[in-house]
């Protein structure tokens, strides 16, 4: 197992690509993020972003329902970083996949998951290779008290 030294706190979680595991990850990241001085609304936004990205990995990364989704979260320098990775089918066109009307299935809702994730996080980077999987890195910084009032 690869070891990396962090000055802050972190966790790694690997889950089977099952839709019922998305809520568990969402709550786990929210509890972890609560170590920082996020508001309730900010925690809710983090939960939505994480939920959407993990859902995409579960549903679209592994259409056959078999695979592992890896979630790594860390707190360092007043910010939360969450990385969601899969070894699934990958995304053919990342730019197109982040458009509000993008969907891979005709019976699916509008495909706003990555749009919400990008809106709610300070940074969102997607790396994907067809047949090799996708990694989404999200960062949310704690706002200073003066910016909140």
User: Does residue 9 have an active-site annotation?
Assistant: no
Q: End-to-end CA distance of the chain, in Å? A: 44
111 backbone φψ class: left, alpha, beta (φ>0; ψ -120 to 50) = left
Q: Considering 56, 92, 108, 143, which one is annotated as catalytic? A: 56
User: DSSP state, 143?
Assistant: P
Nearby residues of 24 by Cβ (< 8 Å), 6 or more positions away: 15
107 backbone φψ class: left, alpha, beta (φ>0; ψ -120 to 50) = alpha
What are the tokens at 84? 């969601």
Nearby residues of 40 by Cβ (< 8 Å), 6 or more positions away: none
Integer Cα distance of 108 and 111 in angstroms: 7
Q: Considering 2, 20, 95, 109, which one is annotated as catalytic? A: 109
Q: Considering 52, 70, 74, 140, which one is annotated as catalytic? A: 52
User: Does residue 52 have an active-site annotation?
Assistant: yes
User: Does residue 109 have an active-site annotation?
Assistant: yes
Residues designated as active site? 52, 56, 109
């Amino acid at each position: 197992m690869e070891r990396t030294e962090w000055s802050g706190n972190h966790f790694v979680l690997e889950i089977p690509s099952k839709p019922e595991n998305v809520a568990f990850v969402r709550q786990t990241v929210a509890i972890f993020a609560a170590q920082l001085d996020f508001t309730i609304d900010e925690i809710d936004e983090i939960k939505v972003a994480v939920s959407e990205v993990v859902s995409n990995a579960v549903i679209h990364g592994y259409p056959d329902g078999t695979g592992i989704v890896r979630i790594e979260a860390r707190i360092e320098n007043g910010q939360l970083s969450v990385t969601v990775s899969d070894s699934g089918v990958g995304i053919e066109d990342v730019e197109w996949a982040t458009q509000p009307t993008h969907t891979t299935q005709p019976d699916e809702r509008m495909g706003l998951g990555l749009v919400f994730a990008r809106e709610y996080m300070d940074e969102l980077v997607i790396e994907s290779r067809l047949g090799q999987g996708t990694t989404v890195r999200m960062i949310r910084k704690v706002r200073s008290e003066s910016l909140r009032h």
